[in-house]
Amino acid sequence: MTDIRDDVREGFRARFEREPHGVWSSPGRVNLIGEHTDYNEGFVFPFAIDRRTVIALAPRDDDRIRLASSFSDEVVEARLADLTGERIDGWQAYPLGVAWALGQRGADLAAVPGFDVFIDSDVPVGAGLSSSAALEGSIALALDDIWRLGLDRPTLAAVGQLAENEIVGAPTGIMDQSASLLGQQDAGVFLDCRSLDAEVIPLGLEAAGLTIAVIDTHVAHAHADGGYRARRESCEQGARLMGVASLRDLAVDDLVRAREVLDDETFRRVRHIVTENQRVLDTVRALREEGPRAIGELLDASHRSMRDDFEISVPELDLAVEVAQNEGAIGARMTGGASADPP
């Protein structure tokens, strides 16, 4: 089996007929718990996986950008001067968006060089594993190096989020990029999405004799589609009606008043976020004090909440969870963005 890093080097040579300056990579992620809480300024607990996006890149002596990948024979061309913050269609929106976003974080796009890049990845697209964040992270790391910006990883995560929000047009939170850029082996990233404080928490899976099985049900999703956007808008409406800046500011006890103030659908969306935030905190506490075997019921409860209150599951996902539980999993839940259309 060939190394993907060798593949991207060879791909770069074949497309651009020169040597790359270097190779950079960033992994996909799975969110252990904390679904749709990130854009509500809440808590999340993702971990990085062993699937990665890998790029080979070299600077140019002009402001041109050439993008190539293993997934297409097309070479996309652009110029740094053309990156104005307008939406871009297609996969090229991710690398071009990161270049633009770095300009918003201090890079002088009129002074830095353009670049050639070749992209390969073994992160499945649309499977809830953050293939987009893996691409954004690898591009951000590479450009930070060749442009000598000296930005830290939390800042690069914010760059990726800005690119996805403004250039791709997907209203995502910062969880995916943070997990991809901060994750470590056998550990999760406990992220406060309001303060952006992040703490790496050991999972302790090997010592407990446990393994996390990540199952691709082949039910695809896209964050730029309507289901995700509708859920976000519902959360924002709930916060406004409850008189808080975000749903992060509500505690479980506030749900009594929320039931009186909100219509049924908005209440259920709010209840998921509020209780999911508490489940993240309970998961971190359990890992610190008891170990991973103590978090199973929290995972099960998270799935029920996503299925019944947030309504983002589908029959294939529910079946996968049921089979896992019947076969002895200590806990199981769906992960990823909205998979269902808004009801």
The gap between the terminal CA atoms of the chain, to the nearest Å, is 45
H-state helical runs in the chain: 4-16, 93-104, 131-146, 153-163, 175-182, 226-242, 255-261, 264-289, 296-308, 315-326
Catalytic residue among 38, 63, 176, 309: 176
In the DSSP assignment, the letter for residue 8 is H
CA distance 153 to 180: 10
Give residue for tokens 């006890």.
253
Distance between CA atoms of residues 95 and 241, nearest Å: 38
Whole-angstrom distance, CA of residue 22 vs CA of residue 67: 15
176 is an active site residue: yes
Could you give the CA distance from residue 268 to residue 234 in angstroms, rounded to a whole number? 10
Residues identified as active-site: 176
